[in-house]
Amino acid sequence: MASATIAPALKQPAWTNDRNVLRVLAIVFVVFVYVLPLIDDSTKTMDFMTKAMIYVFLGMGLNVVVGYAGLLDLGYIAFYAIGAYTCGILTQAFHIPQWAAVPGVVVACIIAGIIIGGPTLRLRSDYLAIVTLGFGEIIRVTARNLTIDAPDGSPMVRGPSGMANIEQWSFGGWSFTDGLNIGGMFIREQVIFYYFVTTIALVLGVFGISRLANGRLGRAWKAVRDDEDAAEAMGINTYTTKITAYIIGAVWAGLAGQLSATQQLSIAPTSFEFLFSALILMAVVIGGMGSTPGVVLGAMFVSLVPNLLRNYEWAENRYLYFGILLVVVMLFRPKGFWPATDILPWSSEKIHKWLTARKAAKAGKDLIATEEDTYE
Amino acid sequence: MSETPRDTLLEVRDLVLRFGGVVAVDGLNMSVHAGEIVSVIGPNGAGKTSAFNCISGFYRANSGSIRFLGQSILRRQPSTITKMGMARTFQNLRLFKEMSILDNVKTGAHYRMKQHWFDALLHTPAYGKSERECEDDARYWLDFVGFKGDTSMYVTALPYGEQRRVEIARALMTKPRVLMLDEPAAGLNHSEKQGLIELIRRIQALGISIVLIEHDMGLVMDISERIIVLNYGKEIADGTPDEIRNDPLVVEAYLGTDEDEEDAE
Amino acid sequence: MTQVLIDGLFLGCVYALIALGYSMVYGIIKLLNFAHGDIFMFGAMIAFTMLTAVPGLQSAGIVAVFGVLILSMFLTGGTGVLIEAVAYKPLRSAPRLSLLITAVGMSFVLEYGVKQFWGSKSITWPQWAQMGAGSIPIFDGTITISRLVLMAVSIALMVGLGFYINGTRQGRAMRAIALDQRASTLMGVDVNRTISLVFFIGSALAGAAGVMFGMYYGAIGFMMGFLLGLKAFTAAVIGGIGNMYGAMLGGLTLGLIERTTVYFCNGDDSWKDVVSFGLLILFLTLRPTGILGDRVVERM
């Protein structure tokens, strides 16, 4: 049959098709982020790198919803806000350590995910975009107007001023604020926090999500994204599949919200605007929907650009450039910078075709002969 | 459940489907027995695919009954019907375009894989075992349909005929009792059609009943044990290929009325 | 209470004008055009520039304002057509997700492009081009003459559109494409031209709403299209998306509901958006086809 003869011709050069290349790059990246504080642990660097890792975590969460399940979520930051507020309220109202608030954050996000996703995921998927946009606004407005007092009567959630004095993470008697002494080297709070966030972002965000995507559930997500009817015909309940994607995305965003709240040690409702949701979406789309390396790079890109653009005016106008980039990417490279279907960004279809053509030209007669065989 | 060869697996009674004012399926009756190959034929727009979509749960019938393995499936979701043992392919190829060939076929095992999402997250032994079994299965069925290429390729890189094979392998992966093929020979060349006929016979040999919508009369007459002819959403004939060939109503439906021929009968 | 009704109806007219564009575009190519709200904003901005940049316009008074309104409609209409041609047309056969994301990107381009040229500060509409303050008492409320004029203009636009869609060849072509694009092509309808036309009309109406907004409220800003666009979309869904009369009805309904909410919150308007979007979610859950939409069988 045709496949036997045509398939090898379409193949890319062996090394670009080798997953080990990807592994090596992943190791380089991991080593880099872990070694970085040894090179530069200035407050500024640690601050924006921690933020960048939170973006990576958020990006991987949104990647499940947009990249794998193909659902457009424009209010993703709502769950991030829910996570931040839930951990703030739980730790301050009940005086529990930060880690004990994690289950609360997870449950709150699951409930919110079911409330929003439950009814709308039954509809055409483009309605989800607008509902999530509306939901994002609801959460933002609610956050701005919300005032709750702690059980002891002191103000806890203070409307437009948000929350202050968020608990730092502490385990047993040891808190991040105490720092850490290893072999005479003192590691301060900010660096510990960076390592903490990086580890969570890499383990739960990057590796966790890509593992999920390669399993049974991940295959179902992708199937639903590519063709909903065909997925149903394969015995996949498309509705529950979509809702699991939505909820997992929500939980990941909630955890990111908790991390962010503990980084700032306060919560400001102004940070939960649509722009932030759009920024994470851009990270996913520009990087490559459904592509782990793409989303990691995309998230680093959108979060680090303001720091990299020395020119103040450029940094100020970045949303204009992001908008243009978004349209350009969709028009000319819809799979993003690092397509999920390719091992490396430059092993794209064009090169692929060019190589095929060159091979075909070289092989010349052979290929024509085998093609004739196929259609005898 | 084990059945004797003539047991009825699928039974459709008085099925009606309307789109607004158009009656796509108008009181269809048909049944499928264990292990047989049934073809559904009829002129374009006779309601074949609509009937297919009703049976597999994609359209909600307006009235009538559909019973599969003794249970009513009229209001069931397509995925539930697939789980019960009815698989289908689509008229226009509906493979998952951004998934590899192997992953495409593996989706068919979704509902029977013993793997929770946290198995995938933690790579537990259950994950390894279920993935391995699923992959072995997928390779078995790809081999069964005669696919010999690189399974890590994306489906869009395959020629049309090969994609058809992968789609059938994917449907077989759901372990069906009844396999419904919607125009599987469309767009295939002569040798590919021969391959398809042989493949359908081998599927039948596994004890799977096959329902076929097809326009290629040669193929239909060659492999069908029974043929159901639809016209304007109604069943106009049901019989063996020989009976159908000589049925005046069928001839009329395909060629239009011809007085002389009716007289000759 | 009468005042609430009047305020609500006025706001509803603005929503309805924007909602029409949303609804028409959705009806014809099934795209949620996120950039639509920003077209509204863009209309206000170019009208502002014309009003302030052309010397001697002030002496022409109200005639000049209406001239600018019509010119702005043409310009926003053109912008809509341009956006469709550049960003949406090449993706018409691409997956829906790409189209939606492109629309989000276009919205950003408009917002931050405008910010680039007009700045991020709120812009004050020229005093002379704002509507006079004379008012007429109605029962226990009052309606300013300017409102009355603006409402009349928007109603005239909507009625005109109604005649256009139902009474002309082009209108029939639009309805045909909305029903079945492929069949329309086969029947000789020029699909590309008609879609461009829909974008032109929808964007022109949004532009008109933008100018009216500036004339009435006196202050405009580069982000005003975002929230208003979202509200207008809500209006379109409440009325029944894809249905023209639904968009009008939804706009008026939403305007009334919003003002009533503010009334019952004793003038505190912080929760009105929550109520609107809550309503959107409720409608999509319970009656996704809206008040006037029909239940349509979706074919595979």
Greater confidence (C76 vs C172) lies with: C76
Residue B41, H or E segment: strand B37-41
For the stretch A137-179, pLDDT in tens is 888 888 888 888 877 777 888 888 888 888 888 887 777 777 7
Judging contacts by C-beta atoms under 8 Å, the chain B residues touching residue C299 are 19
Chain B window 196-255: which residues touch A at a Cβ cutoff of 8 Å?
Answer: none
Domains of chain C: which residue ranges? Answer: 21-224
Contact B141, B177 (CB under 8 A): no
Q: A17-26, B101-110, B248-257, C38-47 — which is least confidently predicted? A: B248-257
Residue-number span of the structural domain to which A300 is assigned: 43-342
The tokens describing A94, both together, are 């009940």
**Which residue in C has a C-alpha nearest to residue B90's C-alpha?**
C300
Q: A154-168, B170-184, C247-261 — which is least confidently predicted? A: A154-168
**Which residue in A has a C-alpha nearest to residue B81's C-alpha?**
A235
Contact B20 C297 (CB under 8 A): yes
Q: Rounded to a whole number, what is the distance in Å from the CA of A293 to chain C's nearest CA?
A: 20
Contact A331 C87 (CB under 8 A): yes
Which of C101, C112, C277 is the closest to A317 by Cβ? C112
Judging contacts by C-beta atoms under 8 Å, the chain A residues touching residue B52 are none
Contact B157 A10 (CB under 8 A): yes
Half-sphere exposure (CA, 13 Å, Cβ side) for C194?
23
Contact C299 B58 (CB under 8 A): no
Asked if the structure places residue A26 within a domain, the reply is no
pLDDT at position A108 is 94
Contact A125 C96 (CB under 8 A): yes
Judging contacts by C-beta atoms under 8 Å, the chain C residues touching residue A330 are 87, 91, 94, 98, 101-102, 105
CATH number at residue A281: 1.10.3470
Helices C191-217 + C2-29 axis angle, to 10:
160
Across the range B34-41, mean pLDDT stands at 88
CA distances from A12 to A15, A340, B103, C3, C93 (A): 8, 15, 19, 71, 28
The tokens describing C156, both together, are 């005239």
For the stretch C233-245, pLDDT in tens is 888 888 887 777 8
**Which residue in A has a C-alpha nearest to residue B163's C-alpha?**
A3
Mean pLDDT of chain A: 81
Residue B187 CB neighbour total at 10 angstroms: 13
pLDDT class of A82 with cuts at 50, 70, 90 = very high
Asked if the structure places residue A216 within a domain, the reply is yes
Residue A85 has pLDDT above 50, yes or no: yes
Across the range A229-238, mean pLDDT stands at 90
Which amino acid appears at position A343 of this protein? I
Against chain A, the chains showing at least 3 CB pairs within 8 Å are B, C
Contact C226 A274 (CB under 8 A): yes
Contact B19 C297 (CB under 8 A): yes
Chain B window 117-136: which residues touch A at a Cβ cutoff of 8 Å?
Answer: 117, 119-121, 123, 127, 130-131, 134
pLDDT class of A54 with cuts at 50, 70, 90 = very high
Across the range C68-81, mean pLDDT stands at 91
Contact B223, B200 (CB under 8 A): yes
Chain C window 270-299: which residues touch B at a Cβ cutoff of 8 Å?
Answer: 297, 299
Q: Tell which phi-psi region holds residue A97, choosing left (phi > 0), alpha (psi between -120 and 50) or beta.
A: beta
Determine the distance from the C-alpha atom of residue B212 to the mean position of all C-alpha atoms in its chain, rounded to a whole number. Answer: 6
DSSP B100: B
Across the range A200-228, mean pLDDT stands at 89
Asked if the structure places residue A38 within a domain, the reply is no
pLDDT at position A241 is 92
Contact B203, B172 (CB under 8 A): yes
For the stretch C111-133, pLDDT in tens is 888 888 888 788 888 777 666 55
Closest CA to B135 of B103, B89, B180: B103
Residue C54 has pLDDT above 80, yes or no: no
Q: Which of C258, C281, C299 to mutate to test the interface with A (most CBs of A within 10 A)?
A: C281
User: Does B115 touch chain A if contact means CB atoms closer than 8 Å?
Assistant: yes
**Which residue in B has a C-alpha nearest to residue A353's C-alpha?**
B157
**Which residue in A has a C-alpha nearest to residue B92's C-alpha?**
A230
Contact A229 B94 (CB under 8 A): yes
Alpha helices in chain A (DSSP H): 2-10, 19-39, 43-62, 77-94, 102-120, 125-145, 189-200, 209-214, 216-226, 228-233, 238-264, 274-287, 292-308, 312-316, 318-332, 349-363, 365-374
**Which residue in C has a C-alpha nearest to residue A122's C-alpha?**
C285
pLDDT at position C187 is 81
pLDDT at position A126 is 73
Q: Rounded to a whole number, what is the distance in Å from the CA of B215 to chain A's nearest CA?
A: 22
User: Does A82 touch chain B if contact means CB atoms closer than 8 Å?
Assistant: no
Residues 6+ apart with CB under 8 A from A250: A61, A79, A109, A110, A112, A113, A117
A-to-C residue pairs, Cβ atoms closer than 8 angstroms: 115
User: Does B154 touch chain C if contact means CB atoms closer than 8 Å?
Assistant: no
**Which residue in C has a C-alpha nearest to residue A323's C-alpha?**
C105
Against chain C, the chains showing at least 3 CB pairs within 8 Å are A, B
Contact C300 B53 (CB under 8 A): yes
Q: Rounded to a whole number, what is the distance in Å from the CA of C112 to chain A's nearest CA?
A: 5
pLDDT at position B147 is 85
Quote the radius of gyration of chain B (alpha carbons, Å).
20
**CA dist., res. A322 & res. A324, Å (int):** 5
Q: Rounded to a whole number, what is the distance in Å from the CA of C291 to chain A's nearest CA?
A: 17
Contact A134 C116 (CB under 8 A): no
Contact A4 B148 (CB under 8 A): yes
For the stretch B181-206, pLDDT in tens is 988 888 888 888 888 888 998 998 88
Residues of A with CB under 8 A from a CB of C: 66, 70, 72, 74, 116, 119-120, 123, 125-127, 129-131, 133-135, 137-138, 141-142, 144-145, 229, 274, 278, 281, 285, 289, 317, 319-320, 322-327, 330-331, 334
Residue B261 CB neighbour total at 10 angstroms: 12
Residue B242 CB neighbour total at 10 angstroms: 10
**Which residue in C has a C-alpha nearest to residue B62's C-alpha?**
C297
Contact C288 A127 (CB under 8 A): yes
User: Does C186 touch chain B if contact means CB atoms closer than 8 Å?
Assistant: no
Which of A6, A10, A215 is the closest to B127 by Cβ? A215
For the stretch A236-269, pLDDT in tens is 999 999 999 999 999 999 999 999 998 888 888 8
Residue B263 has pLDDT above 50, yes or no: no
Percent of chain A with pLDDT over 90: 21
pLDDT class of A113 with cuts at 50, 70, 90 = very high
**CA dist., res. C243 & res. C264, Å (int):** 31
Judging contacts by C-beta atoms under 8 Å, the chain A residues touching residue B173 are 234
User: Does B5 touch chain C if contact means CB atoms closer than 8 Å?
Assistant: no
Residues 6+ apart with CB under 8 A from A194: A37, A46, A49, A50, A53
Judged by DSSP in three states, A9 sits in: helix
Contact C300 B20 (CB under 8 A): no
Question: If you average pLDDT over each of A142-146, A166-170, B44-48, C197-201, which comes out highest?
Answer: C197-201
Judging contacts by C-beta atoms under 8 Å, the chain A residues touching residue B108 are 234-235
Judging contacts by C-beta atoms under 8 Å, the chain B residues touching residue C297 are 19-20
Residue A5 has pLDDT above 60, yes or no: no
Which of A72, A141, A330 is the closest to C274 by Cβ? A141
User: Does B56 touch chain C if contact means CB atoms closer than 8 Å?
Assistant: no
Question: If you average pLDDT over each of A114-128, A152-166, A319-333, which comes out highest?
Answer: A319-333
Across the range B149-159, mean pLDDT stands at 81
Residue C207 has pLDDT above 70, yes or no: yes
User: Does B110 touch chain A if contact means CB atoms closer than 8 Å?
Assistant: yes
Question: Is domain B1-85+176-265 given the CATH code 3.40.50.300 in the classification?
Answer: yes
pLDDT at position A244 is 93
Total domains, chain A: 1
Against chain B, the chains showing at least 3 CB pairs within 8 Å are A, C
pLDDT at position C164 is 83
pLDDT at position B50 is 85
Name all contacts of B238-241 with Cβ < 8 Å and 24+ positions apart: B238/B30
Domains of chain B: which residue ranges? Answer: 1-85+176-265, 95-174
The tokens describing B140, both together, are 């078995």
Residue pointed to by tokens 């968020």? A166
**CA dist., res. B194 & res. B184, Å (int):** 12
Sheet holding B22-33, edge to edge: B22-33, B8-19, B63-68, B71-72
